[in-house]
Amino acid sequence: MPEFETLVIHAGQAPDPTTGAIMTPIYQTSTYRQDGVGRHRGFEYSRTDNPTRAALERCLAALEGGATGLAFASGMAAIDAVVHLLQPGEHVLAADDLYGGTYRLFETVYAKLGLSFSYASPANPVEFVSQLREETRLIWLESPTNPLLRLCDIAEIARLAKRARPRVLVAVDNTFATPYLQRPLQLGADLVHHSTTKYLGGHSDVVGGALVCRDEQTAGRLRVLQNSIGAIPGPFDCYLVLRGIKTLAVRMDRHCASARRIADHLRQMKGVAAVYYPGLADAAQAEVASRQMHKPGGMVSFVMRAGGGAAVRFAEATRLFSLAESLGSVESLIEVPAAMTHASTAGTPLAIDPALIRLSVGLESVEDLIADLDQAMAASA
């Protein structure tokens, strides 16, 4: 098996057989001429299958080490397909500290359709798994979590969950780590989810989602759902994600190195009450990080000592860090989760500290980024 740095460039993307084109062509077509009635060349209609999407799906499967990859129109559309695996009356056990949109999908769309959801801290795997119910069909994990960047022990949770309930599916939203830093299927998960909008696309120019499954049976059911629901990405979007993936390994190395420098710098700043970064975590978290992550990632969160008002002023004062939702791109972004990405959790047990700021550390000069944070701190005092 080639190394990851080779897979990102070549997996699933052999040069085009008709022309030798090095880059996977954008097959901007909805349908395909058939050689005879019912005799086609593997492609009938582009909701079902498209060669550009097929290349992306093969590449994703190779990167995560799974049997099958499936691409979707957005990260949320991919999660929607997973939830459709369940029957009314079944239950999902999710980690708390969840992506806000996932929480909203569970609570506002699916809770009224007869599924039930509960949330628990995954910090202690034994306690987390003790929340499984007779009717639990799916475990939904994120690691690192958003926005507090806490880790959960994927291998231990998967092992305990399978022992208690062999039929339960363990799914991991791997958007923050990417397969370069963490491969959940190797840790015992059944399904990996990505918002390819983030690090995989990597350039803030496309919205997309993906699933990679360990076994063919779940993959087959998800393939039917992908085609039946129809939330597929267009060929141009697939091309953009494939193109972004080619530089994933080098980008992640730089994101991680700069994020660590910035996390260290924030820790020295008087106006900062706490810094969340997996590489600076307490011993228990650091131990999990060293077992399941190759490096701690490119996201850093911190709490402003002066409170929510100061957090808003800080986020509005940066010049290089753009005030924006999303993450994982070449440019640095800043946001206040309680007022932006996680506004839907207000008033719930998952509500976020208004003084928390989340940074997506981009690929600019780290010296310039640190200078920007320093001037924003001075401006927000």
Ligand X SMILES: *Cc1c(COP(=O)(O)O)cnc(C)c1O
Binding site for ligand X (CB under 6 A): 74-76, 99, 101-102, 142, 146, 173, 175-176, 195, 197-198, 207, 209
CB within 8 Å of 12: residues ≥ 6 apart: 54, 55, 56, 57, 58, 59, 60, 61, 62
Residue with Cβ nearer ligand X (310 or 356): 356
Give the nearest distance from C-beta 145 to ligand X in angstroms. Answer: 8
In the complex, least distance from residue 49 CB atom to ligand X, rounded to whole angstroms: 22
Q: Which is nearer to ligand X, 223 or 358 (CB)?
A: 358
In angstroms, what is the minimal distance from the CB of 78 to ligand X? 8
Smallest distance, Å, CB 77 to ligand X? 7
Rank residues 173 and 353 by Cβ distance to ligand X and give the closer one: 173
The C-alpha atoms of residue 246 and residue 287 are separated, in whole angstroms, by 30
- Given the complex with ligand X, which of 269 and 323 has the nearer CB atom? 323
Task: Classify residue 322 as left (phi > 0), alpha (psi -120 to 50) or beta.
Answer: beta
Rounded Cα gap, residues 277 and 294, in angstroms: 14
Task: Report, as residue numbers or ranges, the catalytic residues.
Answer: 47, 99, 173, 198
Measured N-to-C along each axis, helices 283-292 and 154-164 cross at an angle, to the nearest 10 degrees, of: 80
Q: Which is nearer to ligand X, 211 or 289 (CB)?
A: 211
Task: State the minimum distance, in angstroms, from the CB of residue 251 to ligand X.
Answer: 16
The neighbour count for residue 234, using CB atoms within 10 Å, is: 18
- The rounded distance, in Å, linking the Cα atoms of 360 and 300 is 7
Least CB distance from residue 309 to ligand X, whole Å?
26
**What is the number of the residue whose Cβ is closest to ligand X?**
75
Q: What are phi and psi of 272, to 5 degrees?
A: -105, 125
Nearer to ligand X (CB atom), residue 75 or residue 125? 75
- In the complex with ligand X, which residue's Cβ is closer, 59 or 71? 71
- Please report how close the Cβ of residue 82 comes to ligand X at its closest, in angstroms: 11
How many CB atoms neighbour CB 57 within 10 A?
A: 23
Q: Are 34 and 170 in contact (CB under 8 A)?
A: no
User: Cα-atom radius of gyration of the chain, to the nearest Å?
Assistant: 21
Beta bridge partners of 191: 171, 213
Sheet holding 272-276, edge to edge: 272-276, 299-304, 356-360, 333-335, 322-323
Question: Is the C-alpha dihedral spanning 119, 147, 271, 266 positive or negative?
Answer: positive
